[in-house]
Amino acid sequence: MAASIKLCLLAVSCALVLATACHGLQVGYYRKTCPRAEALVRAEVKKAVRANPGVGAGLIRMLFHDCFVEGCDASVLLDPTQANPQPEKLGAPNNPSLRGYEVIDAAKAAVEKACPDTVSCADIIAFAGRDASYLLSHAKVSFHMPAGRLDGRKSLASETLTFLPGPSSNLSSLVSAFAAKGLSVEDVVVLSGAHSIGRSHCSSFVQARLSSPSDIATSLATLLRKQCPANPTTGNDPTVSQDVISPHALDNQYYKNLLAHKVLLTSDATLLSAPNTARMVRANARFAGSWEKKFAKAMVKMGAIGVKTGRDGEIRRSCRLVN
């Protein structure tokens, strides 16, 4: 236990020690069994983000979508099989919008070559989310990610709609969804800042924000109407940048956009609907560097949700299939 606490002290803040230690997670978990594990994952993420920054946004989102359903156990990676034809990756919140699977595959191949049957896919997702955050923030979001997760064997598309808040969520439902996973109201506001990167399908906001009365700025609404069909369909549902100011930078521009009513989703705009969350938004917009530190802490906290240990999980040989 003492060694675990000591390692956890290397994490973002002392406040995280108990959360990570009690879940059995440790910073430097693979230092003896697979010393190059984190470097190998980082190399694959770096290569992918350099080629397409949007993939980095996808990897951050993947960690969120994995952890909120069945815990941080790589259940989001499982492919459909005859025994399980509808896994999480086919759920509406993930299909077809979630991306980055090929990066996880490449990272898993690299660590399997170096250290067979040692590094879990769940840890690879967590490392990839951390590394993408670091790269897209130009090193401003920097933190150690504790590891020691096992991979889960259960994955159901139906659970994605149960646990993942949607783009039309109001503040109450957002807070409830996060609270169910042990995350605070501040975590809601801080993690929403990930919407400073990535793209969103027109179907996620057209009806709620463009076809109905909303607070969206006229200039943004005009731009979006040029980019989106009035009635998006499966065959005609383009994507647009969530942050038109700095679309490839993980930064606090999201909060400035929010105050200017230049955000796409109802779940973003709703953060201004209560005095306490609106105050947090203003603080994150105002103080340079403050949000990045909070985001780092929240990522570590989120990465400890529902961790599988012992007989509850395994280390998959392929991230797409249970052993």
What's the CA gap between 90 and 76, in Å, rounded?
A: 9
To the question of whether residue 66 is assigned a binding role by annotation, the answer is yes
As annotated, the active-site residues are 65
**Which contacts of 33-38 are long-range, i.e. CB under 8 A and separated by 24 or more positions?**
33/115, 33/118, 34/111, 34/114, 34/115, 34/118, 34/119, 36/111, 36/114, 36/115, 37/111, 37/114, 37/115, 37/118, 37/119, 37/123, 37/127, 38/127
Q: Contact 147/309 with Cβ under 8 angstroms?
A: no
To the question of whether residue 151 is assigned a binding role by annotation, the answer is no
What's the CA gap between 61 and 65, in Å, rounded?
A: 6
To the question of whether residue 13 is assigned a binding role by annotation, the answer is no
Q: Which 3 state secondary structure label does DSSP give 200?
A: strand
What's the CA gap between 37 and 42, in Å, rounded?
A: 9
To the question of whether residue 69 is assigned a binding role by annotation, the answer is yes
To the question of whether residue 131 is assigned a binding role by annotation, the answer is no
* Count, residues in the chain: 323
To the question of whether residue 182 is assigned a binding role by annotation, the answer is no
To the question of whether residue 73 is assigned a binding role by annotation, the answer is yes
The owner of tokens 């002290």 is 9
To the question of whether residue 185 is assigned a binding role by annotation, the answer is no
To the question of whether residue 238 is assigned a binding role by annotation, the answer is no
To the question of whether residue 71 is assigned a binding role by annotation, the answer is yes
Burial of 16 (0-12, 13-18, 19+ CB in 10 A): buried
List the binding residues for heme b: 195
List the binding residues: 66, 69, 71, 73, 75, 88, 165, 195, 243, 251
List the binding residues for Ca(2+): 66, 69, 71, 73, 75, 88, 243, 251
